[in-house]
Structure 1
């Protein structure tokens, strides 16, 4: 499933944007497992990108 997924750690600088949900989930789970940190994953596929004001 293609989209845009934002993974972020709440306790260190780990962060990433991924196009595949399974890759994003894997990265989140791997970091949480190895570090014990709290993680978030958000599907940002449907959010509009900020535009320039004219």
Structure 2
């Protein structure tokens, strides 16, 4: 039987993987990023869950 977590997963056609909740595919980096905010050309990387606070400190 499916759990509540399974119901929230979405399939990324580009990555061919199940994305975790709140993840979005970045077309620039060609990866899925949790809590994706935007792709930043200045730092040359996506801003998401793991580096958002660092990005704000810049």
Query: Could you say which TM-score interval applies, normalised by the shorter chain?
Result: under 0.3
Give TM-score, length-normalised by structure 1.
Answer: 0.26
> Of the two structures, which has the highest relative contact order with CA contacts closer than 8 Å and spacing of 6 or more?
1
